[in-house]
Amino acid sequence: MKHKTLKGFQDILPPEISVWQHIEKISRDVFKTYGYQEIRLPVLESTDIFTRSIGETSDIVEKEMYTFTDKGDRSVTLRPEGTASFVRAYVEHHLFNNPAPQKFYYMGPMFRYERPQAYRYRQFYQIGAEAMGVEDPKLDAEIISMLSKILNSTGLEGVNFELTSIGCKNCRPAYRDALKNFLRDRLNSFCGDCQRRFDLNPLRILDCKVPGCIESRQGSPAVLDHLCADCKQHFDGLKRNLETLSVRHSINPNLVRGLDYYTKTAFEVTSESLGSQKAVAAGGRYDGLVDEFGGPPTPGIGFAIGMERIIPLIKGSMSKAEPPDLLICPLGQEAPEKGLLLAEQLRSSGIWAEVNYEQTSLKSQMRKANRLGAKNVIVLGEDELKKGEVVVKNMVNGTETKAVLEVQELKKIIKAGK
């Protein structure tokens, strides 16, 4: 084959696209009831939008960004995630002047230059939400509850909500030091990756799956014990509010976020039936990010759902091709043109009508109707045109109904047979 999609990119073809539309529709409906409005952002941004916010040493920035130089010699990057772009837009358009909370959602492609594997692509789609201007944990609880509602409404099954607080710029450094002090003496009992993480991102050692590392980190200081008064109060409030809203969740103090801008609340939705890439949605609070983009200090919280990751979990995601309501089978000299016109008229009244373009035997036209799954067939031949009368054949039960060759009457019969 000469031309193919790039590695990690994919075409999404018709039968499958209906699952995508289903998820998007449900998300929009739920967002609306929570007051979230759609925002569309560019997929290409100036590179520093991402390097500054996501963190210079994060894996995304270090090795996963689609970065290149444009014709004006500017460094530009295909967005690897949505929040940085969103906050840029939020500040650029002074959206903080609207009454808080300002709530937005977006859906679209993200790009990361990673080695593809199951449920991981270089272009992947996220549905994301961002709520700005409120620090109260009630908003955290509400947005998590909304995420839960979206996932449940799509028919998703068997996911777990995990939750933690990773502190703020006041208490996290102290925790980081405490953790490093604990790990330093026993560092050689950890795997090579973890030894590298020690300097880069020691918190990530808590997330390592190597059995020896799980063993060695027993008794390490816990983030939740090192939260400052403010963060602790926030986290306690969140837990209480989630109880109130009956959002099922578990606390996982080892949850780690890969992006630098997160503060306080961090959460992740996982599925065990997905293989190794098991995160289906994740998010958290980012109270310092607007500030960093030059806006007024403004708290924010958001999440993103991975489309490709929830689709395989949705019951009945094996979608079938949609069948047309009607196939018109013309026979003879006059019929093809008349059929073309009739189809057009029926379409105007909301019927999915197809006409056979080729003059083949009736038998092969009927066979085609069957292959298409057409719900009804009208044979349009010399007799029918002469009498001004046709037979509508219902292909599901085989019944035939005589009808005058007139749009309203045909519409009635076809709609009734649906």
Partner RNA sequence: GUGAGUGUAGCUCAGUUGGCAGAGCAUCUGACUGUGGCUCAGAGGGUCGCGGGUUCAAGCCCCGUCACUCACCCCA
Residue ranges in 273-302 that form contacts with RNA under rule CB under 7 A: 275-282
Helix (H) or strand (E) holding 22: helix 14-33
Please select the residue that binds RNA; options are 28, 52, 120, 249, rule is CB under 7 A. 120
Q: Which is nearer to RNA, 46 or 359 (CB)?
A: 359
Please select the residue that binds RNA; options are 95, 141, 168, 304, rule is CB under 7 A. 304
Q: Is 88 in the site for RNA (CB under 7 A)?
A: no
Please select the residue that binds RNA; options are 15, 35, 116, 350, rule is CB under 7 A. 116
Alpha-helical (H) ranges within 55-171 are 59-63, 83-92, 137-153
d(CA 269, CA 276): 14
Q: Is 176 in the site for RNA (CB under 7 A)?
A: no
Q: Give the 3-state secondary structure of residue 417.
A: coil
d(CA 304, CA 2): 36
Number of chain positions touching RNA (CB under 7 A): 72
Q: Scan for tokens 């503060």, then name that residue.
A: 263
Rule CB under 7 A: which of 223-282 touch RNA?
Answer: 256-259, 268, 275-282
Please select the residue that binds RNA; options are 227, 231, 326, 395, rule is CB under 7 A. 395
Phi-psi domain of 388 (left: phi exceeds 0; alpha: psi -120 through 50; beta: other): left
d(CA 385, CA 383): 5
Q: Is 193 in the site for RNA (CB under 7 A)?
A: yes
Q: Scan for tokens 């590695």, then name that residue.
A: 7
Q: Is 118 in the site for RNA (CB under 7 A)?
A: yes
Q: Is 360 in the site for RNA (CB under 7 A)?
A: yes
Q: Is 308 in the site for RNA (CB under 7 A)?
A: yes
Stretch that binds RNA, among 26-34, 121-129, 286-294, 341-349 (CB under 7 A): 121-129
Please select the residue that binds RNA; options are 22, 112, 264, 411, rule is CB under 7 A. 112
Q: What sign does the CA torsion over 100, 101, 107, 113 have?
A: positive
Please select the residue that binds RNA; options are 70, 236, 382, 389, rule is CB under 7 A. 382
Q: Do 176 and 268 meet the contact criterion of CB atoms below 8 Å apart?
A: no
Q: Which is nearer to RNA, 244 or 416 (CB)?
A: 416
d(CA 162, CA 156): 16
Q: Is 364 in the site for RNA (CB under 7 A)?
A: yes
